[in-house]
Amino acid sequence: MILGLLIFSFFAILFVITLLNARINGGFKIETSWIAIALAPTVIWLLSSGQLAELSGFGVAFKLREAVARPFSLKVHGSKITPEVLPTDEKAGLAAIPGFIENRIPAMTLQLNRRNYYDRAALMEYLRRLTQHDFFRFVVFVDQTGKFKALIHAKSFYQQLRAHQLDIVTMLESANLSPLKDLISSSISSDSNKREVLEKMAHENLSELPVTDEDGHFTGIIELDKLTSSIVLDLVTEKQ
């Protein structure tokens, strides 16, 4: 049933693209890049379900196994992110916020099990002002050694804190993040391949997955749409 729907979607998408090109440029033709776009739903299903095999069509051979065995790149398949740590000498102040904004900081690091350090009013003000900017995307939680523990979208985090009057300082000091929804605690090592990423995303039902280095430190986010698009393009450009 699923395979039938995917085959139908492939021809439907390819037909629409070909028809649009004919109306705009005149004449009917099929280009390799269009096949990549039309094949995307089928490829994603094959990869996530583990049904990897060699397919061929339109004069192009598609080697799924080889494509997903390659390592991923944060630069190509996601975003390399270096979170900013709140200044130790301004934990209750707000002087660093303009610098965060000027440098377009994408994420903030909050450390768990650190007592008598964070100030609730200051934290809420940081979040209030930074979440007004689209470049500020994530809050990253780390342990006392700096290793990744969890991640949450900054706007969702701030909205939950306000809506439910959550005590963020108590949560951080006790390392109890259970009151938060949409928290991502899974991660993938930077030396993993594309198949491992796709399998973990499918298992966790995630479209974004945190990436950690060999020491367990957060290095960025890999995105499902960028990864699958890259795989499809690899498949259709490898002629045998």
Same domain, 40 and 81: no
Q: Look up the CATH number of the domain holding residue 95.
A: 3.10.580.10
Q: What is the pTM (predicted TM-score) of this model?
A: 0.76
Calculate the CA 215 to chain-centre distance.
20
Distance from C-alpha of 24 to C-alpha of 152, rounded to nearest angstrom:
44
Query: How many Å apart are CA 192 and CA 200, to the nearest integer?
Result: 11
pLDDT at 138: 97
One domain for residues 168 and 218: yes
Q: Phi and psi at residue 16, in whole multiples of 5°?
A: -65, -45
**Do residue 111 and residue 199 come from a single domain?**
yes
> 215 and 230, same structural domain?
no
Domain match, 82 and 195 both: yes
The parent domain of residue 152 ranges over 74-223
Q: How many CB atoms lie within 10 A of CB 75?
A: 9
CB 219: neighbour CB atoms within 10 A? Answer: 20
| Residues 54 and 80 grouped into a single domain | no
Tell me the per-residue pLDDT of 14-57, one tens digit each, with 9 for 90 and over: 455 455 455 545 554 445 444 555 555 555 555 555 554 444 45
Same domain, 128 and 202: yes
Asked if residue 189 and residue 85 are part of one domain, the reply reads: yes
Amino acid at the residue 156: S
Task: Output the CA–CA distances (angstroms, integers) from residue 18 to 37, 218, 233, in the order listed.
Answer: 12, 43, 18
Let me know whether 8 and 81 are in one domain. Answer: no
Return the pLDDT at 28: 46
Whether 88 and 197 share a structural domain: yes
**Looking at per-residue confidence, does 225 or 236 come out higher?**
225
pLDDT digits (tens, 9 = 90+) for 62-114: 566 677 778 888 888 889 999 998 876 555 568 889 999 999 999 999 999 99
**Do 23 and 78 have their domain in common?**
no
Residue 193, by phi and psi: left (phi above 0), alpha (psi -120 to 50) or beta?
beta
Query: Residue for token digits 């934290």?
Result: 123
Predicted confidence at residue 41, as pLDDT, reads 55
Number of domains present in the structure of the chain: 2
197 and 123 within one domain = yes
